[in-house]
Structure formats: C-alpha cells, structure tokens
Amino acid sequence: MENLDSFRTEIGKWLEQNCPPSMRKPLGPDEDINWGGRDKVYDNPEEKLWLDRMAARGFTTPTWPKQYGGGGLSSAQARVLAEEMRRLHCRPPLVSFGITMLGPVLLQYGNEEQKQEHLPRIVRGEIRWCQGYSEPGAGSDLAGLQTRAEDQGDHYLVNGQKIWTSYADYADWIFCLVRTNTTAPKHDGISFLLFDMKTPGVTVAPIKLISGSSPFCQTFFQDVKVPKKNLVGKLDGGWTIAKALLQHEREMIGGMGLGMGGSGGGGTLDALAKEYCGTEAGRIADPVIRDQVAQHLMDSRCFTTTIRRSGDEAKAGAGPGAASSMFKLYGTEMNKRRYELLVKVLGSQALGWEGEGFNTRELGTTREWLRSKGNSIEGGTSEVQLNIIAKRVLGLPD
C-alpha cells in the first residue's frame, strides 16, 4: 500500500504537468474522443500532444508489457492512474478497439513478430482497428460465418462480407474471422486474420439505422490477398481466440454498465413528467405515469446497487459473481423501457423526425429511443443472454 501511495503522488504530479489544459475540459458538443488512426487530422495540437505524452509512458495501455510499449503497471496501479485522471478531469487520450479487444488477444495468442508489429502502433494510436465478426447469415450463430480464406501458398485469398462493422469507414486495419476449413465442424474451421483495410478488394458501405446514421458498416471482401504471417494463432483455431476477444468486449461493456444504469438523465424522468404531463399539488398529475416513473427509478437503483454488490463481492475475493451475467440483459432492457416511458411522457413532442416544431432535446430523445432498440440485440441478444444464464448460472440442461 505504501508503494501505491507514492505512485499516486508521482502520477498526480506528472498528470498535472503533462495534461494540456484543453484536455482537462469536458468534450464540447462538436468534439469526439480521440480514436487515433493513420488519417487522423489533429485540429487541436494539444490533443496530439496529450496522446504522445501518455503513449510515451505507455499509459494508453497501462497494464500492457513495457517491451511492446505498454505501461507495465499492475492492475492496482492502473486503477490509481484512472482515479487520478478522473480527479484531475483528464480526458482519456485514446479510445480504440485495439486497446480493448485486439491487444489483449494478441498478447495471449499472437507470435512475437505480430506483437512487435501491431501492439506499439495501438499504444501510440497510429493504427485504428475495426472488428470483422458478424455476417448477414451469422449473427447470434456467429460460428456459422462463411467469409472464406483460401490457402494460396504464400497468402490467403479472402472473399465474403461482414456486417455491423463499427467505424469500418474510418479504420486502418481489421481483425477478421474467416472460414479456412469447410469440411470440419463449423467451430473448428475458423481462423483469426489481420489485414489492412486499404488492401485491394476491400469496400465499405455505411449502414443507416431506424434512428438515422450510425457508425455501423457493411464490409465487402473480393479476392483480398492477406499475407500468411497475419494469421493469429493456429490455423482453424480462431474460434477460441474469437471467444476470448468477446469476453474482453463484454468486460469493456460491463465497465460502462454504471453509465447505463445510473446516468443518462434517470433523475430527469420525473422532472420531464411534471413538465409535459402537468402537475397537481406539486406532483405528477397522472398517477399511472407517476407509478411508472417510480418503477423505473426503483429499477435503476436496484440495478446500480447490484453492480456495486458484484464489485464488493469480487473485492472480497469471491470472483465474478453470478449476478454479473445479468448486467447486459437487464441494463439494456431497462434502458429500452426508460425510452418508451420518455416517449410516452413527451407525447407527440417525442415523435418529431427533424426540423421545426421540436427542440434539440426532443429530437435527440426520439433518435435515442429508436437507437435503443438495438441495445437488446447487439453484443448478444437478450434471448441469448437468457440462454446463457439458464445454462451457465442455473445449470439447466440442454
């Protein structure tokens, strides 16, 4: 503990000295977090400076080994770093799928050459990655994927398509699940490939959602040549790596879980209900809506308390409890209910698509309501989550 205290002091001082002032302000309405990448243009030089300084210490990837450019910190030290950054209102210098998803599996399954080539570039935000997993015919049944990689001697020839590829139109490289064996059982014929999005034959088409534009894309591969050295792990052994990566993805989303349950204006539901539905003696006039608002606020409180209990139990050495398997399921369904209630409360003012007659908040609520429909589908549908709970937690038979 003594070590952590002096580490905290040292880190706090370093952050104060090295985090530029504009990087200690919350994101403006037109600003986005830094995703890095080959083509990234830095309008604000302080944003580049902040990234470079943090990357030089490996703090963009605090727990990665130093030999690949990581911070070499323990998880306790990484927690201290995060706390100090929050305390000093320092923005995260870099956000990337390379950090949260690809990097951890490369560390686990990649060979030395791949680690040396890719990890430092992730640390420095030089390469932006996207995830080639789902296909039109392979969503919940991901192992049914058909994008083909044929052995052509010194390279693989990739043909097929991916869907729901977030930010494929901005990404530099893709980590992609491909089928390398069509005779083996479906889980045993999958490989994990890395390739450059600029490789001839790769095309990208953005996907519009019911809520309007989205970061999702379709990605098409026509005779794309991928060097064999870009195969991660064993040939036909990609499913194990795919699952490990999904676990990291789930932990990342779980880490955002607190945001899902507690923030997002849960406390404004009652204020909005008073504003749009009227009051009687200072209370929401409609008792049915009042009851539903109370129900939502109670749901939210029970959910955040469950996240906290899960954390307390983990700290007490109990390991990830059974409760954590319900976070994605409950958080997303609760979020959908919240938006339905918001639409009911805002009434016809929640039904505007664009233009005059609606304020920004109202139009935003409508889009968010529409987008929330995807929450219970992406990252494992609610139905799949229920199956997982039934099988892994309750032990119910197949």
Partner 1 sequence: MSLALSEEQELLRSTAREFVSEHAPVRELRKLRDTQDATGFSRALWKQMGELGWAGIVLPEELGGAGLGFAELGIVLEECGRTLAATPLVSTTLLAGNVVLLGGNEMQKKEILPSVAKAERVLALALQEAAHHAPYAVATRAESSANGYKLTGKKTFVLDGHVADQIVVVARTAGATGDRDGLSLFLVPKSARGLSVQRTIMVDGRNAANLVLEGVEVERSALIGAAGRGADVLDPALDRATIGLAAEMLGTLGEAFERTIKYLKDRKQFGVPIGSFQALKHRAANMFVEVELSRSIVLDALRAIDENRPDVPQLASIAKARLSDALHLVGNEAVQMHGGIGVTDEEEIGLFMKRARVAELTLGDGAYHRARFAALSGF
| Interaction site with partner 1 (CB under 8 A) | 270-271, 273-274, 282-284, 287, 290-291, 293-295, 297-299, 301-303, 305-306, 308-309, 312-313, 315-316, 318, 322-323, 326, 329-330, 383, 385-387, 389-391, 393-398
Q: Which is nearer to partner 1, 244 or 389 (CB)?
A: 389
Q: Which is nearer to partner 1, 256 or 386 (CB)?
A: 386
Closest CA to 376 of 339, 341, 334: 334
CB of 321 to partner 1, least distance (A): 9
CB atoms within 10 A of CB 198: 9
Q: Which is nearer to partner 1, 185 or 397 (CB)?
A: 397
Length of the chain: 398
Q: Which is nearer to partner 1, 238 or 266 (CB)?
A: 266
CB of 173 to partner 1, least distance (A): 38
CB of 377 to partner 1, least distance (A): 16
DSSP element (H, E) containing 109: helix 103-109
Q: Which is nearer to partner 1, 211 or 382 (CB)?
A: 382
Q: What is the CA radius of gyration of the chain?
A: 23
Closest CA to 241 of 116, 101, 68: 101
DSSP state of 90: P
Q: What is the spatial distance between Cα 110 and Cα 104, in angstroms, rounded to a whole number? A: 10
How does DSSP assign 230-290, residue by residue? GEESSTTBHHHHHHHHHHHHHHHHHHTHHHHHH-TTTTHHHHHHHHHH-EETTEES-HHHH
E strands present in the chain: 129-132, 148-151, 155-162, 173-179, 190-196, 202-209, 212-227, 231-232, 279-280, 283-284
CB of 390 to partner 1, least distance (A): 4
Q: Which is nearer to partner 1, 286 or 368 (CB)?
A: 286
Which residues, in sequence order, are CB contacts of 211 under 8 Å at separation 6+? Answer: 367, 368, 369, 370, 371
CB of 394 to partner 1, least distance (A): 6
* Tokens encoding 341: 């209630």
CB of 8 to partner 1, least distance (A): 22
DSSP state of 359: -
Q: Which is nearer to partner 1, 63 or 325 (CB)?
A: 325
CB of 360 to partner 1, least distance (A): 24
CB of 325 to partner 1, least distance (A): 9
Burial class (CB in 10 A: 0-12, 13-18, 19+), 18: middle
CB of 251 to partner 1, least distance (A): 19
* Tokens encoding 243: 């699952």
Per the CB < 8 A criterion, the answer to whether 363 and 340 are in contact is no
Q: Which is nearer to partner 1, 210 or 294 (CB)?
A: 294
Q: Which is nearer to partner 1, 168 or 284 (CB)?
A: 284
Sequence letter at residue 369: W
Q: Which is nearer to partner 1, 290 or 367 (CB)?
A: 290
CB of 326 to partner 1, least distance (A): 5
Burial class (CB in 10 A: 0-12, 13-18, 19+), 102: buried
CB atoms within 10 A of CB 160: 20
